[in-house]
Amino acid sequence: MKPCSQPSVYPSVTHRANPQAPNVVEVEGLRKSYGRTVAVDEVSFSVREGEIFGLIGPNGAGKTTTMECVEGIRQPDGGRISVLGLNPRRDADRLVHRIGVQLQEAQLQKRIKVGEAVDLWASLYAAPVDSAALLDQLGLTAKRGAKFMTLSGGQKQRLFIALALIHDPEIVFLDELTTGLDPQARRTIWELVLGIKQRGKTVFLTTHLMEEAERLCDRVAIIEHGRLIEMGSPAELVRRHCPQREVIFTSTWRGEAAAFEGLGSVTSAVVDDGVFTLGGEGEEFVSEVIEFLAATSIKVRDFRTVLPTLEEVFLKLTGHLIRD
C-alpha cells in the first residue's frame, strides 16, 4: 500500500490552544504492569491548560491504563503524576471536585431516568451546575424523563458527558467516547467536546480513531505497546512524517503530465482520462503548480489538494494500520 495518499476529511483545524499555557497534567516515567503484561512502559507527557489532548493508539496500547492512573483510579507501579499540582492518589479527595471523568464502558442502572441520574450526581457535589442548562447544552432536555435503557448509544454517551460535567470541573477525561457510535452521533459528540474546550476547560481524551483525533485534538501522543512513540499537533506530525502532498485536477488540456515534472517541488505526475494527479513535497508545491497552470493558460475544471492524515503518520511510524 502506498503511504501518505489518503484524503484528509478535516484538513485544517481552526482552534489552537495557547502554547504558553501552564501544564495541568504532568506524567513522568509512568509504569504499570498486570502480572507479566507491561501495559504502560515509561510514559511521559504533559497536558496544557485549555487544550484538547489526545492519547491515541490501537486497542490494548495502554490508553485506558494511563488515563486511569492519571485520574487516580489505578495505582501505578512507578513514575510521577501531577494533576492540577496534586497527587491523584494521595490528594484524591481534593481532586474529585476539580476533574470530571467519563469511563470507557460505563453503565447505569437501566431503569434510572436521565433527570434522576443528573440529580443524583449533582447531589454528590457542593456546587453543581444548573442541571436543566446542562441537559439543554447536551441536547437531552427532551430525554429528561427517559429511562437509561431506552437511550441510543449517542444519547448514553451524552448523558455520561453531562455527568462528568455536573460539578463544573477544570479537566475532563473522556475515554473512547465515540466508539461504537454511528457517524452522525459521533459528529454531535465532537461538537460537544469542542464546546467544552471553548468554555475554557481542558480535555484529556483517548481514541483509536485517527479522524477523531485530527478533528478534536490540539496535540496528540501516539502510544503503542505501552510506549509513547510520538507527540505533537496533528499538523506537525503530518508535516514531520508524511510531507508528501497531492494536487488533483481535471482538465481538457492534452499536454503530457511529464510537463509538470520540470517543477522543482513535483515528484510525480500522471494523467488518466483528463484527471491529473501530481505528487510533491514542500511549502512551494501547491503554489508552483498553480503558477504553472496560470502561466501556461491551462483551464482546469476542478482542483483539490490532498493532505496525508494521522492514520498515515501511524502507518509510517509503526508499519501497520491502526485498525489492524
Ligand X SMILES: Nc1ncnc2c1ncn2[C@@H]1O[C@H](COP(=O)(O)OP(=O)(O)O)[C@@H](O)[C@H]1O
Residues making contact with ligand X (CB under 6 A):
34, 37, 39, 57, 59-65
Residue 18 or 59: the one with the smaller Cβ distance to Mg ion is 59
213-to-6, 115, 204 alpha-carbon distances in Å: 16, 31, 11
**CA–CA distance, 315 with 241 (Å, rounded to integer):** 10
CB nearer ligand X, residue 1 or residue 34: 34
118 closest CA partner among 150, 162, 156: 162
For Mg ion, the closer CB: 63 or 143:
63
Distance in Å, CB of 271 to ligand X, minimum = 44
DSSP string covering 199-215: TT-EEEEEES-HHHHHH
Pairing of strands 275-281, 266-272: antiparallel
SS3 annotation, 55-73: EECCCCCCHHHHHHHHHCC
Picked from Mg ion, ligand X, none, the partner binding residue 3 (CB below 5 to 8 A depending on kind) is none
Q: For residue 40, what are the contacts with CB-CB under 8 A and spacing of at least 6?
A: 30, 31, 32, 62, 65, 66, 69, 76, 226
Indicate which of Mg ion, ligand X, none lies near residue 268 (CB less than 5 to 8 Å, by partner kind).
none
Residue number of the CB atom closest to Mg ion? 64
Smallest separation (angstroms) from ligand X to the CB of 38: 8
For the chain, the straight-line distance linking the first and the last C-alpha, in angstroms and rounded, comes to 14
Strands (E), 84-197: 99-102, 171-175
Minimum separation from the CB atom of position 206 to Mg ion (A): 6
Name the residues that contact Mg ion, by CB under 5 A. 63-64, 104
Element (H, E) at 117: helix 114-123
Q: How far is the CB of 311 from ligand X (least distance, A)?
A: 17
Residue 197 or 208: the one with the smaller Cβ distance to Mg ion is 208
User: Between 65 and 137, whose beta carbon lies closer to Mg ion?
Assistant: 65
User: Among ligand X, Mg ion, none, what does residue 280 contact (CB within 5–8 Å per kind)?
Assistant: none
Q: Which does 39 bind (CB under 5 to 8 A by kind): ligand X, Mg ion, none?
A: ligand X
In the complex, least distance from residue 37 CB atom to ligand X, rounded to whole angstroms: 5
